[in-house]
Structure formats: structure tokens, C-alpha cells
Structure 1
């Protein structure tokens, strides 16, 4: 009987089950497994059968088997290839024949019979011929190609009377039944199909996938290929000959190119042997044509090779592909796997493939290829170019990794040893790390570029240095143009992005100029050389009172960065998007976005730009009242050079406002004064975009210096055209804080109009709250309540607590004009102002100074207030005012009111 089927089809299990049914018959059963490794050892299989017979007899009879001593002595030795075959075959035939003469039926089962040595086949044929009248059964389990073995012995075996049983692979329906039996329920057709596709119905592979897939729970889902599957794949591979394994390894390494190259040449097999191996691997469920059905199978085959064999195979494949004209990326994949750079053509192929990989956003592949070329490159200038290209690729995902490649190139950049494009990359690295002064000196030495394109490249570097990084002046020896706030001339050829940004920030911001920048961004490629320019463009639009336009453009770029897996872009654009949200007053989104951006890159990769997300997060958290979280962010280490850039300025401003919110006004004043000093020493045109004078006005108000605060606010308002509506609105609001109620209300209304234009809802809520307080001081209670409700609505929109007293948001118990008890009208305007300050804890003299009345007048007002509210002392005022719905004078004005204005 010959049982055929592909490897892993269940032949061995079928034979085992069959032999189990014979246990009750008393038959003598001899079993053996042929092996490709022993195929050249004569009688290796028959020797195995007879040794098993000896063991079986000894176990059942506790004595030596009935095999003559001569045969036993000869079989105890393992004859080598040079041993005389005829005597051994005679002896083994005699020994087997002796077993046949026993009264018991004889069953010989041979697994993997296609691997039997020729001498063993001849011996079995001899046995069958001489035992036709005896009860002898030979069962051969073999792969489907058993009949194709071209040897006289195998042909003769097949001529003996026999029956064939073929085991076909499981159908998809049968796989589904097997899965359902394991799961206890029917599974979706998609799961059944996935298992069948991965295994071609091989029972061994199906069970291996089931073992892996149910390793973490009984539920059966899509197939998971793990350890059991890998072991099953390798066991199938090892059942074949060495030629089969070589073909499988070549196919695993070739991947999709398996049919495009001479497979036999790579595997070292004949065309017939190659096709036989492919057929066997297909019947085993490993291949579908020339491709592995599951990538884990290919990986397991390659990992089973030793390193030298695997790299040698990849090297041969690369050479074959190159000679056949295969695409560079295919050749490079195998060169990389072999860690090989062939002398004549390897470097060119790898560089071409690196460019293609980077264009396809495969940064890791790109850096692998460039690193391999750099390893074997001896030319210094070429090494410099390779280092910059490698750094440019790594910058997309990890700027810190690019540093070691660029740091040694500073001198070459200054000496003209690099192309202008590569020089620009090194300079941008210097700026990213905060070395703005050295970068300015380098730009100054390159002012006389040799070509218009080079001149434009270096002009854009200087433009970004002054307007994106800002602050630091050009070093000594730089030409005067280095101090020109517009920097070196950025040509407007073709309406490029840099030229449009220059027009937006250098003149009066208009809808047209902002739209022109946004339009240029739409077609801008995500490329490292343009990263800072794109970032600067978005910030320029946002600070030009068009945050919604900037938000839309930034969202589109963020989506693109995510699709291209450009981590550095995602981090920086995420930080800018958070800054835009802050300008819109959406402090919750700003905090969330800034913290998310900080988590994308490590601190080392941020360089000085870490000040951008940090300052946004600190400002937003402070505005939300989450001062403890903001305090934690202030504990982060920041690079010292950051304070020589605009990002350091923004960080100091954020910290200063946090100090104000946590009642540390003098610390805040120190930070704001530092901001002003740094800006005055740096790019003066940046001052109009950063309202540090308003910050100083606010700090001075908090420490009681209303006149100084007014001077700073007025100076902010006197700046030439081009500063944002938001900055002007902030200055007007602070100026209002130093004025009498009538003038204050007028300034606040102007501030509110500007804030509506620029879209800052957080600042708008604060301004409405200030205006409500002003109306209340004027005795305009109904108007104060109306404006307070507007403040509350804006505060709710940006997810912060209402900045107005809750009782201003309630309807009064009765009209204010009745003058009856229980409402604000029981006190006069002057009494309300005095009572409000007294309730806040101010002494009579302090109230006198703030309201510019005599102490005696204050005492008279308080006497009437005590009588009307029925209070005995100052300490009862807060509760009584709450009881009568008389809002206390807000703290926002307590320390700021002045006679000025």
C-alpha cells in the first residue's frame, strides 16, 4: 500500500491510526522512517526496521529475537558507502525472511518512503517476491512524487501488487469544520478563508496556526503565526532534501522577484530538481506558486540559516538582479541584507535606492542604504555629502540622531567644502541647536553666492534665522545687511513662499497677503529644508489676525505629515496648531495639543524649539487654572541657548504670566523685563509682534504702579502699523485699568471690537468681565449684568471658569429702581464702590486713595452701608453683600484704579 500526499497532509497520522487497529490481530509490526540524510547509506532503513524488531521481541519475550547470530552481528554495524552491498542485502533479506516464516502476520510501515536508500528498496522488493503466499503487508507513506523517482529499485517496488491512497489537502469547508469544532461554534467565513489561504488546507499548518491563535485565550479570530507555526514550517522543510531547503531559502529571500531570476542558479539545483522542490513546497502548503503563503513562513526559513549563508545568498541575489537590470530598490534591498557594496556599481545603486526610499517616506530604508555607502566611502568630500544626506533623512523622524552626522561638518560648511544645499542643512542644524550667532557669521561669509539659486538658498536661511528664530544679532564681522530686519533679500520669483511671508510680516497684514501665504502652503512639499519656513508661515498668518485661516492650513499639513510618517513635522506642526488654538482662546485645545506635541519628540530632538510647545502649554494651563500642572512643566530642563531665540522669549512670557496667576508679581516683572531687554538687543522688528510692553503694564498694575503701567500700555499703542489687533486690544484693556470708569468703559469697548476681529475668545471673556465691572462702578447694574452674561458665554466656549461674579448672572429679585431692600439699589453708587473695596479688605485710607475722596467721606459712606445692610463690623460685609445680591468690586480693579484718564 502506498499512501501519498504533500508534506504535513496527515500521512504519518493515518499510518499510526492504521497500525493501532492491528494491535489486536497479533501481527508483528516493524516501523521505520527514511531520511534524506541517510539516503546514501545502504540498508539504513532496513537496519532500522530490524533493530525495531529486536526491541519488540525483547519486550514481549524478555529474550533475544529469533534472528540468526550472523545476521545480528552484521546488522549491528552501520555499513558505510564503501562496504560491500551484496552480502549485507543477502543478510538482511535472510533476516526479514526469517520473520516472515513466523506464524504471525508481518506489517512493515515506512514513513517518508521517497527518501529510502536504494539497497533498502531492493531488500523490500526481494522480500515481497519471496513472500507472495505469506501474510506480509508493506505500507509506504510518501510525498506525491514517489512514482517520479528515477531509480530501478523504486520502479521495481511500484511493479509489485499494491494499492494507492492519496491524501488531499483540506478544503476550505473542511478547515471551517475543524475551526468550528475547536471553537464550539461556527466561525465567520472570512476567518475560515484566512486560515485556508495561509495553509492551503495543510492539517499540520492549520493546527499550528490554531495553537498560536488560541495561545492568549480560547477565542478564535484571524490567524496568528507564532512559534508553533514557525516550528511547523521548519519541520516541513527538514523533511525534504537539501535541494528543497536551498530552493525554499532562495524563494524566501527573493520575495516577489522569485519568477524574475534563474532560481536553480541561486539554489544550486538542476531545473528538474528546482521544479520538484517548488511542487513539494506547494503541496506542503508553504507556497502559492513561487511565493510563500504567509510572510512568517519566509521569515522562519531565512532565520533558520546561519549568518554567513544568509548574507552570501543575498549577495548572489543582488548580483543576479543587477545583471538582469532589476530596479535599484530591489537590488539595494539585498545589498543591505548582505551588508555589501560591490566596488563598481554598489554605491550608485544604493544612493539611487536611498533617494527613492526617502521619496516614498521609507526613512529607515534610506538611512540603511546611505549608512552602508558611507561605511565604505574613502573620499572626504563624498563622505561629507553622504553625511548630510543621511542627516537630512534622519531629521524627519529624530533630529537628535542627525546631530552626530552634522556636528563634524561645521568647519566644512564655513570653509565652502559643501554644496550650498548641504551648507544650508548644517546651518539649520546650528540654528535648531541655538547657535544663532555662529549661523549668522556663516551666512555673512556666504553672502557672495556664485549662482542665483545658491543666493536664494542662503537668503532663505537668513530669513528664517531672523524671523523664525529671531532675537540674536549677527556676530562681529557681519555686514550691515545682517542687521536689517528684513534680512538678506528674499527674491519673489514666481511668488514663492518665502517672498509671500516676507510681504505679510514686513508690511500691513491684509486678507490678500494672508491668503497668498496660505495658497503657497497648499502646494508645498514636506521637505526638511522648508520645515521652519512652513512653520513661520503658519505663525505669520495666525498673528496677522487670521488664526482660522492658519488653523485650516495647519490641519491639512498635519494630515499630510501623519500620512508620510514624518515625526518631526508632526511634532512641530502640532505645537504650532496648539499655538493657533491659544490665539483663538481655546485654551483646553491649546494645552492638549501642546502636551501631545511634546510627547512626540524627545527633549534632545526639540533643540531650542522646545520653548514653543512648552510656552503654549504653560500659558494654556495657567489660563485654565491648572497652575500645578503648569508648575510641573516649568521644572523641565530647557537648553540655555533657547533664551537667545524667540522661543525663549515666549517661554519667559508664559512663565511670567504663570507667576502673576500664582501671586508672584515681582518674579513676573523680572521675566517681562528680561524679554524686553533681549528683544531690544535683537531684531527690533520682532518687538511689534511680541507685546512685552503690555506684559510689563500688567505686572506693574499688579504691584500697584498704575502710572508706570499706563506708560507701558501707551508705548505699546504707539508702535507703528503692522502689529496685531490682539496686541492692541490687550494694550487698550490694560490702559483702561488705569482710567476712571467712564473712560475705562470706552477703551474696553474698543478692545472688545478688536478681539472680535482677531477671534481670541479667552481674551474677549476677560474684556467683557472688565467692562461689566466698569458698568457696575458706574451704577449701570442692568448693563453690568448683560455684559457679564456675554463674558460667561465666551468663558464657557473656551472651557474656563466664568470671570464674573455668579450673582451678576442672576436676575434681580425686583427692579433696581424700586430702592427697596434686598437689591443693589438700596446702596448709592458711591456706597457700592466703598462697600466693595471694604469687603475686599482695604483700609479706609486705602479706599480714600483709590477713590480720591477724604477718609471722612469713606467713613460716612461706610456708616450708611452698615445701617442699610444691618451689619456691625467690616468683617460682616462680604456675607451681607452676598445676601443682598450686591456684587463685590472685582479684584481685577482693586489694585489698578487711578485718577489718570
Structure 2
């Protein structure tokens, strides 16, 4: 890495050597934080020895050789160019001195035990050598030298003043306090100079980086490089290595960010190990705690050593403001801990955090890493931390806390409460995950160890997985409970009734209604009231059909909702209430909003359930590509096996969308997927029967389709859910009858469907009108189909609008009105393209060659309608483009036929066209211009 910002230090050493060559011996003590370039400086100085007229004799101290008597001095002797006789004498002296040191009882006795004559004789070898050659004696990491060597080097240093020797020693500022005698001995000598090495400045780091990766990159990341290295050359170099590794992994493309990696982590560890055991101990404790506040108590040492070590780590560039400069450094330190030390540190940290009143999340994280802490407060801390984690969207953490609490809890009743919380938490990740706990909870209920509210949660989980017999047992067990239920149980039971009514209607009879005070008055929480209101709204829409006051109430509920721990049921019920009330336009933006929130809160189960709802909304808007996307998303997030009886939701939307788009192979594969029989006892089964029937009808199996539609209708009637907004089974059954040649039965079914529709259900009304048109004489069909198209335009279903327009094209063809058929065909084609309804697109293309030509001119003409025509002319033009006769236009707008003719004449002139057929076919039915 060169000698960036070290040239002044090198010049000082060279000056000292120049004095030594002239017979004025000198000593230099090079000091600084770990990895600040001391070894690099000494190595460079030694390499220049010959050029400077001296002979370099080097040695290096090592922590692992600290107990090797005279080890460092032996390195110097072995590196010296001695004649054989001198070398033999020196080695004999080293062996004698080593024997003496080994015979002493402790290092403290070394000075007294080692023979002063041995020290003198060894130093004399080097002094005599300097008479032949000027010597450069270099000892790197002298703070790791053995004590006997230090005694000899101290003796030598006192005697080099009038010799041709420069002795250079490097010492880390983090050496052991027991070795400070050597530093003191050197610095008291008048011929000793201290050469301190500071960390690199910002400019120094930038120069270092520029040498390796170029000035442009250095300038781009200069502040970040300096902040992460603290000026430590080793750390800065490791960051460069990580940057270059990232660039190589990206085929030479420069990384967009500076991301410390493995090289940086290893460099941090290298600094810590060089700094000694105390520094490493401090770093490990800090890595466990994350902050230094309780570090002294964690490690069981005084505050002074801790503060000293923290200062040293900061100077070394590892820490900043008491914390690791990057998480990669902390991760590297933690990775080095063995399992036993890891657990012990986290156990102690948990106890300290609890005693200090830290957040339950902080304590729980340490408990999780410790694995086991034998203390009475552990369970309550983990439960509270889990609740906080669920509120914050940290579902995986909540599950981990609850699993540990479950494992540590000895009280069975309390353990079942924890298990119920765990089921709820795991449900947010994958509804299939809690299945393993259901048998345990059911067994606990039989033994009386399960609370009433927890039993309701168990019943709902069992229903999801289609275990209806077990769910029935739980509900009957609740019915047998005493009237004196706790408020939480009453709340869950009150909410469960409308939820069962809308989702599992066949089970409603197994739950006893709440009586007396065991009703809504017992619910005191705002969130619980919202859950109940949403469930009641959904049940009301499915039992009585859409009402404006219910729609308004549902929107008020949604405005007050967030996806916290308990509100998913509220959101789901409210969104479905809007959807089944014929307001998918209102439900869609709310669903998108909550889907985005679920994504940020890392709740896969909720993302999937919302995606399934969004797919159903898209189906009712005729957005077949959107329905396919959302249904696929739902099934990708949660595997089909984990959906239980709710699989009918996303599956039916995907089947309907794929059928409409002509992807019959996809539908075959979907229908081959096994679904639980229990699904057909739920609302999800109705959707599945409807979707399967639509596929059978489309692929030429009307008898199979009719059977599915009739079964769907039978179940809806039995459950008192026979409303058009749920499944318009009569209209579909009527279409099946038509395909089978049963026109009279088809007409009866279509008319029955229409009678059940009201102003709030234009979509289903339009579908039924389209089918009804097909049951009558050809000459009556256009009027009914135009009404159907207007209703479907109002209802917002683009796919069904395309089908109605196609029917109108066929009706005009049958009547020989080809000009009108051509006018409508263009509009039908454009709508079918939006829906990617390939079968419709192909049929329209066969019936109308060249459909879609001149689209640009048509769009221009549509724009002209809003600029050059009056309101009256525009209203007439839109109806004329839709195929209405002059008489029909006059009747709809309450004007005379002559007035219609005048408006059309002026319109032709303004648009530069000559006939009605030239009017743009892409004008909207039901648009404001027809009002």
C-alpha cells in the first residue's frame, strides 16, 4: 500500500541511521494503533540498509513465542553475519541464558536469575559486529518479545550511544502493561526518539484508494471509505479488496455502492487479534450488546479498562462512537465466537438488559441467542416482545420468541395460550405452518386447558384446513361452557357468528347465539367492534344483497384500518363486502393499499389472501390479465396445499381468467389439482363450482356445466346466500340450457335472474339481459343487447361488455344489417383486446375483416367529438355510433326525429364524414354524452 503519509517518519529513521554511521548510536521507538503501518515502515527502512551504508539485522516479536526465553534475541543473532567462532559462542550463551530462565519460578525472577555476564556477552556480540559494519537493529512488535530478550535489548540500548548502531523498535499502543518497563527504559535515554504513527487522514485514505482503483472512484466514495476505515490502512485496503471482488463478480461493472464484505471482516479480526486478548474480549462483548453501556458489567471488569479498550478500538478504526463502524465488522466478530461463549454472553446480556429496564424486544433477542435462561420473568418478556413484533410487522421474530416461550413454559394452561399466539403468528407467514399445533390444542381443550377465546381461534384454524369434525367438536364444547364467559371469549364468539354465516354457513347451527350480556355490549375494544361491523356487513350483503348504507359503512371501516395483529379479518370482510355489493371499483384501490402495507410488513399470508381478493375483484371488472396475475401471485406466495378450503378463492379466479383468455391447457392442469372435499361446504366451493362450470360451458360440455351451476344454486339457496352479487348462477345455467336447446328453460332462468337484480347490481342484470336476448326472436335481440351493454358499461365489467357487444354484432349480422354490425364490431374488438379474450378476438376477426384498421384516425375523431360538437350533437352521435335508429335516438333523448336528423347532418359536416357508418366505433356506452 506504499508509505502514504509515512515519508516524514521514514526520513526521521534515515536521519538517525546517518548519525549512527558517524558513530553516534541512536534508538527509535515507532508506536501507533494496530495496523497503522508500523511493520511496513520498518520493512521499507530495512530494505534501504545497503543503500544507506548499513547492515540490517531484524527480528519480530510474537504472542505465541512470548514464553520462549531469549527468542527475539536469538532471531537477531541468527540474522547477523557472524563468523563461525562468534556464532558458536553466541549460540552457547543463548542456550545458557535460556536454561537459566526456564529454571526460574516466574518471569518476575528473570532479572535476578539470568546471569548479567550472559546479557553483557550477548550484547557485546552485536556491539563488536557494529565495529565492522554500521548496524540497523530492527525489532517489530517488540511488545510481544519475551522478557529475557527485552532485558537484553534494554541493556543494549543503553550502550549504543557511542556505537555505529541504530536500534528501531515498533510497539503497539495496546501492549501489556507489564511490559511498559521497556518503553520507559528506552524513552529515558537521551539518544532515543519516539516516532508516532497516526491513522491516515481523509486525504491519505483517498490517495491509498486512488492508487488501487483510480481517482474517480476514490472521489466518489471518499467519505464512506474514510468513515468505514477510520484511517486504518489495513481496513481501507480490505475495503478496496471487497470493492474489486464485487466488480469482478459483476463482470467488471463498477459497484453502485461500497459494500464491506468478507475481506473487511477479516481485516477487523486481524486488528483485534493483534491488539491482544483484552481488545478481543471487549470487541466480542460489544458485538453481543450492540452498545457499550453495560459492557463492564457484562465482562465483569472495571470501567477504566473498558474505557481504555474502547478508546484503543476507536483509534484503530474499528469503532466509532462506541459502536462498530459497519455491521460486517460486528458479524465477523460474532462469527468467531464458539457456541458456549455465545450463549453465555447473551445469557448475561439478557439478565443485564432486564435489570436495566430495557425494552422487551432487546431482552428477547438476547434470550433467543442464549437459548435458555432460568428466570421467572422469561416467559412474560418473550410474550410481550412477540406482541410488539407483530404490531411492527416483524412476524418471523414474533414466531421465534413464541417458540422459545412455548419450549420454556412448564404451566400447561399458559403453554396453550402461547400456542394459540404462535398459531396466529405462523398463520401470517403460511396458514399451513400451524397445522402441527392443532392436535395439541384440541387435546388441551378436552382436558380443560384451553381458554374460550383460544378455542374459537382453534375452531377457525380447523375450518380452514377442512377438519370439520374436529371444528364441530370445538364449537359444541364452547356451547357447553358456562354462561360466565370472559369478555375476550364473548367477543370472539359474537364475531364468529357473522363470519361463519358468510364463509362456513353450514356450521352456523353448531354455535349457540350469545344471549343477555353475552352480546355486542360485552365488546369494548374499537378493533373488535370494527371486526364485528365488517363481518356483519359481509353477512348482510350475502343475505340481503347490496345496500348503499352498508357500502358507506364498509368504507368508513376501511378508513380506520391498518394491518396490525388482529385486523386482517376486518380488512378481508370489508373488501369482500364491497366486491359482492357490486362495487369492485371501490374495493380495488383499498385492496392495493393494504397489499402494499402487507408487503412492507413482511406478512406473506396476508399478501396472498389480499392477492386472492384482488383477483376476484379483477374478475368482476373484466380485467382477465389482472385476475390471472393476482391469482398466480396468491398461489405462488402460499402453496396450494396450505390454502385448505380457501383454495377455491384464487383457483376459481385463475380458472375464470384463463378460460376467458382461451388458455384451456392451463385450466385443465388447474382442475387436475386436488382440492379438499370440505371446500364444497364453504363459500369458496361456490366460486369453484361456478368457475368449473364456465370452463365446461366454454369447451362444449353444457350438461356438465349445468350440473355445476345447479349445485351452486342449490347450496346458495340452502345457506340463504342466494344473491346475484355472489354468484349469478341462474344466468350461467340459462346459457347452458341454451347450448342444450332448452330455450324455454333458459328464458325462465334469465328472467328469474333479472327479477333478483336491482339498481345496485347492473353487472349481473346486464349478463342476464345478454342471455335473455339469445332466447328470443332475432329481431328483438338488438334492443336487449344494447340495454345489456349499457348495464355492463355501468357495472364496470369489460369482459362481459365485450360478450354483449359480440352478441350485438351477431344479431345485426343475422338481421342482415352489416353496416351496423361493422360499427359495433370495432368497439367489441377493442374491448376484447383489453381483456385478452382470445376466443372473442378470433370470432370477431372472422366476422369482421380489417377490424382495427384506421385506429389512429378513429381516436382523432373521438377527440373531435369533445371539441367541435355541441352537447346535443355529441349525445346523438354516440347513440348513432352504437347502432340506434333515428327513431330510437329520438325516444331515448326525448326529441323529434327531425331534430335527430339535423344534429347528424351538422355532425357529418363538422367531422368531414358522409354517413353514419363513418362515426367512430370506440365511443362508450353509458358515457356522460348519453345522459
TM-score by length of 1: 0.82
Whole-angstrom CA distance in 1 between matches of 2:261 and 2:833: 53
User: Secondary structure of 1:82's partner?
Assistant: coil
Q: Distance in 2 between matches of 1:387 and 1:50?
A: 68
Aligned partner of 1:707 among 720, 744, 757? 744
- Whole-angstrom CA distance in 1 between matches of 2:87 and 2:454: 85
RMSD after superposition = 3.3
Equivalence for 1:419: 451
Render the CA deviation track for 1:33-60: whole Å, top value 9, x for unaligned.
Answer: 3344555x3x74x4233145326659xx
Tell me, in whole angstroms, the C-alpha distance in 1 between the residues paired with 2:30 and 2:745: 103
**Closer/same/farther in 2, CA of residues 464 and 331 from structure 1, 3 Å limit:** same
Q: Which residue of the partner structure matches residue 234 of structure 1?
A: 269
**Counterpart in 1 of 2:105?**
82
Q: In 2, distance between residues paired with 1:457 and 1:211?
A: 59
In structure 1, C-alpha distance between the alignment counterparts of 2:166 and 2:671, rounded to whole Å: 87
Cα distance in 1, alignment partners of residues 722 and 444 from structure 2: 32
Among 115, 139, 157, the alignment partner of 1:128 is 157
User: By how many angstroms is 1:498 displaced?
Assistant: 2.9
Match status 1:47 vs 2:71: yes
The 1:746/1:659 distance shift into structure 2, 3 A limit, reads same
- Describe the superposition over 1:528-570 as per-residue Cα deviations: whole angstroms up to 9, x where unpaired: 5443442232122122221110112212211221222221111
Going from structure 1 to structure 2, the CA distance change for 1:610 and 1:11 (only over 3 Å counts) comes to same
Task: Give the superposition deviation at 1:255.
Answer: 0.6
**Whole-angstrom distance in 1 between the partners of 2:521 and 2:664:** 44
Q: Deviations over 1:180-235 (max 9, x none)?
A: 22223412645121111111111101111211221141535533322222221111
User: Secondary structure at 2:195's aligned position in 1?
Assistant: strand
SS of 1:137's partner is: strand
Length, aligned pairs only: 799
Larger mean CA deviation between 111-120 and 208-217 belongs to: 111-120
- Is the CA contact (8 Å cut-off) linking 1:655 and 1:671 kept in structure 2? yes
Equivalent residue for 1:457? 492
Do structure 1's residue 67 and structure 2's residue 95 form an aligned pair? no
Alignment of 1:311-460 (within 5 A): 311-413=343-445, 417-436=449-468, 438-439=470-471, 442-443=474-475, 445-447=477-479, 450=485, 454-460=489-495
User: Paired residue for 1:225, among 252, 257, 260?
Assistant: 260
Tell me, yes or no, if the aligned pair for 2:655 and 2:670 is still in contact at 8 Å: yes
> What residue is the counterpart of 2:314 in the other structure?
282
Q: Which runs of 5+ in 2 are unaligned?
A: 1-27, 854-916, 918-931
Rounded Cα–Cα distance in structure 2 between residues aligned with 1:151 and 1:183: 41
Secondary structure class of the residue paired with 1:65 = helix
1:251–1:291 Cα contact (<8 Å) kept: yes
Q: Which of 770, 774, 778 is equivalent to 1:733?
A: 770
In 1, the alpha carbon distance for the partners of 2:255 and 2:577 equals: 55
- With over 3 angstroms needed to count, the CA separation of the structure-2 counterparts of 1:360 and 1:168, relative to structure 1, is same
Q: CA deviation at 1:64?
A: 8.0
Q: CA 1:368/1:753 → structure 2, altered by over 3 Å: closer, same or farther?
A: same
Offset, 1:770? 0.8
Does residue 1:174 correspond to 2:204, yes or no? yes
In 1, Cα distance between equivalents of 2:540 and 2:682? 22
1:244 and 1:274 in contact (8 A); partners too = no
CA distance in 2, matches of 1:243, 1:405: 47
Output the CA distance in 2 between the equivalents of 1:750 and 1:89: 118
1: CA distance, partners of 2:828 / 2:153: 101
Cα deviation digits, residues 713-746 of structure 1 (max 9, x gap): 3443444869833233222222221211133333
More displaced stretch, 300-309 vs 705-714: 705-714
Distance in 1, Cα, partners of 2:488 & 2:114 = 87
- Using the alignment, how far apart are the partners of 1:200 and 1:568 within structure 2? 44
SS in 2 for 1:223: coil
Corresponding residue SS for 1:164: strand
Structure 2 CA distance for partners of 1:435 and 1:529, relative to 1, 3 Å = farther
Equivalent residue number for residue 501 of structure 2: 466
Distance 2:98 2:448 in 1: 82
Pick the aligned partner of 2:244 from 214, 237, 247: 214
Offset from partner CA, 1:731-784 (integer Å, 9 cap, x none): 222222121113333332332232122111110111111122223323333333
Correspondence for 1:864:
none
1:292 has 2:297 as partner: no
Structure 2 partner of 1:100: 127
Distance 2:545 2:176 in 1: 90
Secondary structure of 1:163's counterpart equals strand
3-state SS of the aligned residue for 2:31? strand
1:775-805 Cα shifts (integer Å, max 9, x gaps): 3323333333333233223223334343535
Note if 1:243 corresponds to 2:267: no
Q: Relative to 1, partners in 2 of residues 1:649 and 1:528: Cα closer, same or farther, differing over 3 Å? A: farther
SS of the residue aligned with 1:399?
coil
State the secondary structure of the residue aligned to 1:769: helix
Alignment partners' CA distance in 2, 1:78 and 1:686: 104
Structure 1 match to 2:603: 566
C-alpha distance 268-445 of structure 1, shift in aligned 2 (>3 A) = closer
Distance, in Å, in 2 between the alignment partners of 1:62 and 1:770 is 114
- Secondary structure of the 1:400 match is coil
Q: Does 1:610 align with 2:642?
A: no
Partner of 2:533: 496
In 2, the alpha carbon distance for the partners of 1:253 and 1:171 equals 30
The 2-side partners of 1:230 and 1:362 are apart by 28
> Are 2:612 and 2:631, in contact at CA under 8 Å, matched by a contact in 1?
yes
CA distance in 1, matches of 2:627, 2:269: 54
SS at match of 1:4: strand
Please say if residues 473 and 683 of structure 1, whose CA atoms lie closer than 8 Å, have aligned partners that are also in contact.
no
Task: Determine which of 524, 530, 534 is the counterpart of 2:561.
Answer: 524
Q: Is the 8 A contact 1:2 1:162 kept in 2?
A: yes
* Residue 422 of structure 1, CA deviation: 1.7
Once residues 325 and 489 of structure 1 are traced to their aligned partners in structure 2, the CA distance between those partners, rounded to angstroms, is: 38
Taking the aligned partners of 2:78 and 2:415, their CA distance within structure 1 comes to 72
Whether the 8 Å contact between 1:665 and 1:702 is mirrored in structure 2 is: yes
- Give per-residue Cα distances to partners, 1:56-106, cap 9 Å, x unaligned: 659xx7998253463143256594462662453632442232122021233
Instruction: Show the counterpart of 2:831.
Output: 794
The reply on whether 1:804 has 2:844 as its aligned counterpart is: yes
1:203 aligns with 2:243: no
Counterpart in the other structure of 1:769: 806
Is the Cα contact below 8 Å between 1:89 and 1:123 reproduced in 2?
no
Per-residue deviation, 1:438? 4.8
- Other-structure match for 1:183: 213
**Whole-angstrom CA distance in 2 between matches of 1:409 and 1:617:** 35
Q: Which moved more, 1:77-86 or 1:559-568?
A: 77-86
Cα drift, residue 522 of structure 1: 1.8
Distance 1:393 1:101, change over 3 A: same
Partner Cα distance (1:133, 1:572) in 2: 88
8 Å CA contact retained: 1:395, 1:528: no
Partner of 2:298: 266
Alpha-carbon spacing, 1:440–1:152, altered in 2? closer, same or farther (3 Å)? closer
Unaligned ranges ≥5, structure 1: 814-884, 886-901
2:822 is aligned to 785
Secondary structure in 1 matching 2:114: helix
